[in-house]
């Protein structure tokens, strides 16, 4: 898809996309966005909210289209041709940890929403984001950042010429204590080394990445303790929560094009490790030692994908046919859940050796029937095999499953710089492999029912995209998604819990305006109705946001002065099915002010939570027990506050 080299955040070419909700975010859009954490890059996707309920080293919590996506379920993320979502993860299905991202290396983010595209498989029912790294940087640079709460960051990037290509590199170190009573002591080391050669149509790259982090966590806290004054708003209950994570990868991408064909191939190998210590219920299960537990895994991921596109003419009508294949192999040795105290293991709840294998051929056809009518028809077949060797023999086993996903899009226009879109299709997400073979609850010893390996989603969408005036573009979509069941493995309990089928429908609006070449403004609004089907006790979906909005302005004046202001609104969510308990809304403003001192020097100031609001990043409702409380615990809201106002000053030197 063509790139747009303008200040604006979004590349919204008329004629470039197959859905009103599809698009891309340019490098300039990422550069002008103040980022509290790397995962907030995904907030460039209109309607996406990125939060955190624990330490910075843990994957973020994501919300989009009325879904609490947890740590990534139903939203697929790719970086440099590699999938980020992890199936059968120790903490949560589809776990998406983006802390290994170096934002300075990002070239482009292409996003989709809905199950309408052949190349999108597991975890993509709500949407996808494909983050590409640059194959050549504009300059070599070093940036030092210091700020509130002992924030320190150093990053060096460059892309010197080497032979026919360029050697792109990035090295990063970061420390942050956060605005918590218990310093987070988050330490992160990160490195990327990439060799790239050729053009966008004919070329290749090979990329090596390494990431390591350690941190202490301030997890969500009970509202009753804050109200009583026994725990501060930025306080903690268990001071030993935290974790450590590692990720190392080697990947490559190759592409070749002729007048009538385009061929792409990618392969990757990833080695990752996580040890995560959490305590959400405090002393409910174990009044003496506490309820802390460890979730741990060691994972090897191998995979690849390839596709070939032919273009031709049929009855005077241009067409594009694509055939592709995606394969993936995940091996966990082991993945486990353990009772712990002070980060020391006390007992094993369950421990498994797991293999997850998948293969997915797909085909698609794009046909230009007339200058104002084109169709995109696609078919995808996903086959899965799960193999589980559990420490409890009854929970071992092999399961296989497959699913066929048809997709169809119709694009009408353009007329007067306006296009209309009709999209429909089906997708899916996989469930945790352990849940597909579990017959005995590892905690209680009671009988358990295995869950379906694959859960189907059906979606459809009506949309429009228009260039309303010079520099002013808008897109709007009406959409609906239905899931057969939200059966999930509950990593915190080591067992599975079924939930009812669900349906969501909503409306989205995105407006971008460039009044001058150095000024860009944007507004995104999303409203969703999310409901379970039937059942007693209410049909609201806990954690499903009804309203999300964001707006921003960025200035990059030729004098060297730059500025950005971004606002995000995260509406209240039901915390229980009957709506009797809801979360509060969250409204945040982040700001940036920068100045180009010279050709070789640039400084900028970021301020997060500009108005120092005392809002919540996330909230839950469940039972927990503090010392001295009833043995059955107390049902309460548990929340994680947004961080206090923080300032960070960065100095960048080009060399």
Model confidence over 99-123: pLDDT tens digits? Answer: 999 999 999 999 999 999 999 999 9
Using the predicted structure, report yes or no on whether residue 3 has a pLDDT greater than 50: no
Q: How many CB atoms lie within 10 A of CB 110?
A: 18
Burial class (CB in 10 A: 0-12, 13-18, 19+), 618: buried
Determine what percent of the chain is predicted with pLDDT higher than 90: 92
Nearest Cα to Cα of residue 509 among 544, 471, 549: 549
DSSP state of 5: -
3-state secondary structure 362-414: EEEEEEEEECCEEEEEEEEEEEEEEEEEECCHHHCEEEEEEEEEEEEEEEEEE
Q: Tell me the CB-side half-sphere exposure of residue 261, using CA atoms within 13 A.
A: 7
pLDDT level of residue 6 (50, 70, 90 thresholds): very low
- Would you state the pLDDT for residue 4? 32
Q: Residues near 73 by Cβ (< 8 Å), separated by ≥ 6?
A: 85, 92, 93, 94, 123, 429, 488
CA distances from 367 to 15, 179, 326, 364 (A): 14, 55, 24, 10
CA distance 222 to 227: 9
Q: What is the pLDDT of residues 125-146, one digit of tens each?
A: 999 999 999 999 999 999 999 9
DSSP state of 574: B
Nearest Cα to Cα of residue 322 among 289, 291, 362: 362
Using the predicted structure, report yes or no on whether residue 357 has a pLDDT greater than 80: yes
CA distances from 173 to 111, 221, 273, 287, 600 (A): 29, 30, 19, 40, 22
- Report helix, strand and coil shares of the chain as percent, to nearest 5: 5, 60, 35
- Would you state the pLDDT for residue 283? 97
Using the predicted structure, report yes or no on whether residue 490 has a pLDDT greater than 60: no
CA distance 468 to 474: 7
Using the predicted structure, report yes or no on whether residue 53 has a pLDDT greater than 70: yes
Q: Could you give the 3-state DSSP secondary structure of residue 43?
A: helix
Q: Are 546 and 572 in contact (CB under 8 A)?
A: yes
Using the predicted structure, report yes or no on whether residue 488 has a pLDDT greater than 50: no
3-state secondary structure 159-182: CCEECCEEEEEEEEEEEECCCCCC
- Between 469 and 497, whose confidence is greater? 469
Average pLDDT over residues 62-88: 96
Using the predicted structure, report yes or no on whether residue 492 has a pLDDT greater than 80: no
Q: How many CB atoms lie within 10 A of CB 337?
A: 25
Q: Please give the backbone phi and psi of residue 150, each rounded to the nearest 5 degrees, phi first.
A: 60, 40
Q: Are 638 and 222 in contact (CB under 8 A)?
A: yes
- Would you state the pLDDT for residue 9? 52
**For the stretch 359-386, what's the b/e string if a residue is b when 16 or more beta carbons lie within 10 angstroms of its beta carbon?**
bbebebebbbeeeeebbbbbbbebebbb
For each of the domains in the chain, give its residue range(s) and CATH number, in order of start. Answer: 23-654 (2.40.170.20)
Q: Which contiguous run of DSSP H or E holds residue 28? A: helix 27-31
Determine what percent of the chain is predicted with pLDDT higher than 70: 96
Q: What is the pLDDT of residues 215-235, one digit of tens each?
A: 999 999 999 999 999 999 999
Q: Does residue 416 come out as left (phi exceeding 0), alpha (psi in the -120 to 50 range) or beta?
A: left
CA distances from 77 to 121, 125, 127, 228, 577 (A): 11, 12, 9, 41, 29
Q: Are 385 and 454 in contact (CB under 8 A)?
A: no
Q: Please give the backbone phi and psi of residue 225, each rounded to the nearest 5 degrees, phi first.
A: -70, -35
Using the predicted structure, report yes or no on whether residue 453 has a pLDDT greater than 70: yes
pLDDT level of residue 1 (50, 70, 90 thresholds): very low
Q: Residues near 403 by Cβ (< 8 Å), separated by ≥ 6?
A: 381, 382, 428, 454, 456
CA distance 588 to 567: 6
CA distance 479 to 421: 11
pLDDT level of residue 196 (50, 70, 90 thresholds): very high
Using the predicted structure, report yes or no on whether residue 8 has a pLDDT greater than 50: no
Average pLDDT over residues 364-384: 98
CA distance 365 to 167: 37
Q: Could you give the 3-state DSSP secondary structure of residue 134?
A: coil
Q: Are 165 and 198 in contact (CB under 8 A)?
A: yes
**For the stretch 267-303, what's the b/e string if a residue is b when 16 or more beta carbons lie within 10 angstroms of its beta carbon?**
bbbbebebbbbbbbbbbbeeeeebbbbbbbbbbebeb
- Would you state the pLDDT for residue 536? 75
The radius of gyration computed from the CA coordinates of the chain, to the nearest angstrom, equals 24
Alpha helices in 559-608 (DSSP H): none
pLDDT level of residue 486 (50, 70, 90 thresholds): low
Average pLDDT over residues 21-29: 93
Nearest Cα to Cα of residue 101 among 180, 24, 177, 43: 43
> What is the pLDDT of the chain when averaged over all its residues?
95
CA distance 19 to 23: 8
Q: Which contiguous run of DSSP H or E holds residue 435? A: helix 433-437
pLDDT level of residue 263 (50, 70, 90 thresholds): very high
DSSP state of 437: H
Q: Which of 319-328, 342-351, 537-546, 580-589 has the lowest average pLDDT?
A: 537-546
CA distance 294 to 113: 34
CA distance 249 to 254: 17
Q: What is the pLDDT of residues 582-625, one digit of tens each?
A: 999 999 999 999 999 999 999 999 999 999 999 999 999 999 99
Average pLDDT over residues 42-47: 97
- Would you state the pLDDT for residue 7? 42
Using the predicted structure, report yes or no on whether residue 494 has a pLDDT greater than 50: no
């Amino acid at each position: 898809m063509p790139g747009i080299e303008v200040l604006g955040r979004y590349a919204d070419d008329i004629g470039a996309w197959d859905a009103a909700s599809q698009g891309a975010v340019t490098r300039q859009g990422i550069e002008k966005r103040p980022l509290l954490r790397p995962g907030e890059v995904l907030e460039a996707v209109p309607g996406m909210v990125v939060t955190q309920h624990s330490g910075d080293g843990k994957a973020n919590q994501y919300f989009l289209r009325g879904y609490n996506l947890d740590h990534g379920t139903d939203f697929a993320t790719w970086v440099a041709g590699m999938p980020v979502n992890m199936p059968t993860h120790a903490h949560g299905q589809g776990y998406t940890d983006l802390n290994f991202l170096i934002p300075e290396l990002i070239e482009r983010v292409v996003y989709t929403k809905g199950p309408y595209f052949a190349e999108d498989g597991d975890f993509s029912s709500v949407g996808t984001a494909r983050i590409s790294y640059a194959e050549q940087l504009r300059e070599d640079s070093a940036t030092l950042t210091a700020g509130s709460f002992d924030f320190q960051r150093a990053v060096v990037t460059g892309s010197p010429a080497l032979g026919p290509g360029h050697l792109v590199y990035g090295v990063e170190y970061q420390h942050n204590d956060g605005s918590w009573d218990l310093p987070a002591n988050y330490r992160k080391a990160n490195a990327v080394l990439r060799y790239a050669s050729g053009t966008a149509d004919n070329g290749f790259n090979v990329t090596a990445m390494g990431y390591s982090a350690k941190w202490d966590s301030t997890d969500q806290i009970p509202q009753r303790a804050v109200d009583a004054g026994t725990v501060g708003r930025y306080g903690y209950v268990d001071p030993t929560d935290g974790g450590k994570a590692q990720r190392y990868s080697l990947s490559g991408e190759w592409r070749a094009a002729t007048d009538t064909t385009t061929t792409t191939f990618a392969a990757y190998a990833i080695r990752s490790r996580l040890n995560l210590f959490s305590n959400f219920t405090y002393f409910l299960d174990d009044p003496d030692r506490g309820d802390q537990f460890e979730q741990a895994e060691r994972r090897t991921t191998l995979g690849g994908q390839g596709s070939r596109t032919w273009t031709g003419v049929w009855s005077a009508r241009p067409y594009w046919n694509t055939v592709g294949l995606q394969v993936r192999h995940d091996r966990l040795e082991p993945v486990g859940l353990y009772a712990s105290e002070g980060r020391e293991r006390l007992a094993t709840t369950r421990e498994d050796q797991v293999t997850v294998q998948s293969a997915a051929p797909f085909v698609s056809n794009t046909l230009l029937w007339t200058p104002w009518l084109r169709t995109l028809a696609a078919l995808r077949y996903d086959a899965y095999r799960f193999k589980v060797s559990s420490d409890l023999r009854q929970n071992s086993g092999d399961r296989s499953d497959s699913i066929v996903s048809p997709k169809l899009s119709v694009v009408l226009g353009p007329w007067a710089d306006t296009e209309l879109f009709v999209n429909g299709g089906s997708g899916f997400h996989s469930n945790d492999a352990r849940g597909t073979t579990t017959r005995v609850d590892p905690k209680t010893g009671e009988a358990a029912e295995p869950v379906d390996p694959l859960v189907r989603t059906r979606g459809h969408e009506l949309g429009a995209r228009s260039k309303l005036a010079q520099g002013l573009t808008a897109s709007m979509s009406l959409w609906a998604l239905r899931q057969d069941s939200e059966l999930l493995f509950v990593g915190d309990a080591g067992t599975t819990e079924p939930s009812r089928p669900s349906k969501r429908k909503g409306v989205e609006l995105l407006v971008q305006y460039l009044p001058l070449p150095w000024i860009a403004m944007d507004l995104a609004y999303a409203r969703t109705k999310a409901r379970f089907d039937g059942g007693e006790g209410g049909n609201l979906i806990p954690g499903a946001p009804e309203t999300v909005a964001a707006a921003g302005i960025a200035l990059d004046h030729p004098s060297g002065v730059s500025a950005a202001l971004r606002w995000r609104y995260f509406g209240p969510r039901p915390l229980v099915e009957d709506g009797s308990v809801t979360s509060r809304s969250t409204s945040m403003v982040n700001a940036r002010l920068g100045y180009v001192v010279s050709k070789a020097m640039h400084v900028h100031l970021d301020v997060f939570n500009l108005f120092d609001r005392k809002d919540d990043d996330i909230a839950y409702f469940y039972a927990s027990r503090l010392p001295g409380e009833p043995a059955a615990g107390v049902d309460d809201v548990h929340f994680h506050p947004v961080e206090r106002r923080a300032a960070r000053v960065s100095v960048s030197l080009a060399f």
